[in-house]
Amino acid sequence: MKVDRALGCAAPIEWSALEAALDILCPMHLRLTETGHIIHAAPTLQKMCAESDLIGKRFLEVFLLDRPRAITTMSELMARARSKLHMEFRVAPHTSLKGVLVRLPAGQGALVNLSFGISVVEGVLDYRLTSADFAATDLAIEMLYLVEAKSAAMDASRKLNQRLQGAKLAAEEQAATDTLTGLKNRRAADRILAQKIEDSGAFALMHLDLDYFKAVNDTKGHAAGDHVLQEVAKVMRAETRKGDMIARVGGDEFMILIDDEVSKVKLDEIAARLIQGIEKPIPFERDVCNISASIGIAVHPECGHLDLDTLVQHSDRALYASKDKGRACATFFDDLEAPKP
C-alpha cells in the first residue's frame, strides 16, 4: 500500500477519525478541495467565523494573501505548498495570520494550518478566545500566560503606586496640618505665604491672637483650652472662603491669608465677623469659656513687602497695636504711625 510521506499515513485517508485528531492538535486548520473550496474548518476557526460559515467558500475568497504575492488561483497556491504564508481575513477585523499548506495525495486537496503568530494577543481579544481554543502544546498558550502574568503584575504595580502616592500625599498633608484643629501649621503657612509673595499677587495677611486664652487654660484646664481652639477654628472656617489659608502658628496664634482681597472695607467686615464669632461664650462641660480676639492686618503688595519675614513683622506689629487699643479689634499696618528714627 502506498504511504503518503507528507501525512505519514496510508491512503485512502479515513477523514472522520483523522479530522477529529487534527481538530485537537491543530484547532486552526482547514481542509480544501483541489479547487480551493473549504470542506472542513477546525473548531477555533469556526468560532472566529461564527457569523459566516466557511464551508463551501473558496480559500482565496476568505483570505487575502500578503506573501507570497501575486497568487490569484488555487493552482498557484498549490505550487507553493510547504511555503510559509502570510494572510489576513478579507472582512473586519482583518486579523493577520500565518500558515502553511500541505498537499494531500491522490488529488484529495490540501490541508492548511493557521496560527496568529505574534498577533496572538490581539486575536484572543478580538475573538474572545481562551486556552481551550489552542492546542495544549501550542507556544501561544505560554505566551498568553506570560501576557496575563504581565498584565496582573502591571495592575498590581499600578495599584501599589496609587497606594504609595496616596500615602505620600497623606503624609505630606499630615506634616502640614495642626493635629488639634485640622488647620495648616506654621511650616505650611510659611511655604504658602512665600509662594504668594513670589507670585506677586494681591492678598491680605491677618495675624490673630486670642485674648484671655491663658486664663481659660489656667482656670479650666488644658482640655478646655483645646476645646476652645477647636471651636475657634470652626468660626474661622465659617467666616472665610474655601480658598483662603487658615493656619495655627502658635499656641493661641493664627494666620489667615485672604486671597485676592485687599479692600479695607471688606477686610474690616471679615475681621469684625471673626471677632464677633470668637467672642461668643463657648460651652465646655458644665461651664463656659469667654475669650476674644485681636487682629493685625498687612496688605500685600501695598505695604511694599519684599519678603516673608517683613510681611509677618508688619502683621505682628498691627496685632500688638490692637492689643494696646484694648483688644477685640483689628488694626491695619499701614494705619500705624511711621516708626521714629
Q: Which of 302, 194, 211 is nearest to 252 (CA)?
A: 211
Kind of pairing between the strands at 282-284 and 253-259: unpaired
Of residues 154 and 278, more confidence is placed in: 278
In-domain check, residue 273? yes
Same domain, 196 and 313: yes
Domain co-membership, 62 together with 168: no
- Confidence band of 340 (pLDDT split at 50, 70, 90): very low
Same domain, 160 and 127: no
Residues 17 and 119 in one domain: yes
> How many domains is the chain built from?
3
Same domain flag for 307 and 247: yes
What would the pLDDT profile of 271-287 be if each residue is shown by its tens digit? 999 999 999 999 999 99
In a domain, 191, yes or no: yes
193 & 320 share domain? yes
- pLDDT, one tens digit per residue, over 166-222 is 777 766 667 779 999 999 999 999 999 999 888 877 899 999 999 999 999 999 999
181 part of a folded domain? no
Kindly state the percentage of the chain with pLDDT values over 90. Answer: 38
10: which strand partners?
Answer: 3
Tell me the average pLDDT of the chain: 85
CATH code for the domain in which residue 328 is found: 3.30.70.270
333, pLDDT greater than 50: yes
340 within a domain of the structure (yes/no): no
Asked if residue 196 and residue 324 are part of one domain, the reply reads yes
Burial of 56 by CB count in 10 Å (0-12 exposed, 13-18 middle, 19+ buried)? exposed
Is the bond preceding 283 in cis, omega lying within 30 degrees of 0?
no
User: Rg of the chain's alpha carbons, rounded to an integer?
Assistant: 41
Cell of 256: 489667615
Higher pLDDT, 8 or 322: 322
Q: Is the pLDDT of residue 231 over 90?
A: yes
In a domain, 180, yes or no: no
Same domain, 192 and 322: yes
Co-location of 307 and 248 in the same domain = yes
User: In whole angstroms, what is the distance from residue 206 CA to residue 27 CA?
Assistant: 78
Print the domain residue range for 76. Answer: 3-137
Q: pTM of the entire structure?
A: 0.54
Q: How far apart are CA 331 and CA 296, in angstroms?
A: 5
| Per-residue model confidence (pLDDT) at position 148 | 66
Specify if 341 maps to a domain.
no
* 109 in the same domain as 132: yes
Regarding whether 130 and 218 lie in a shared domain, the answer is: no
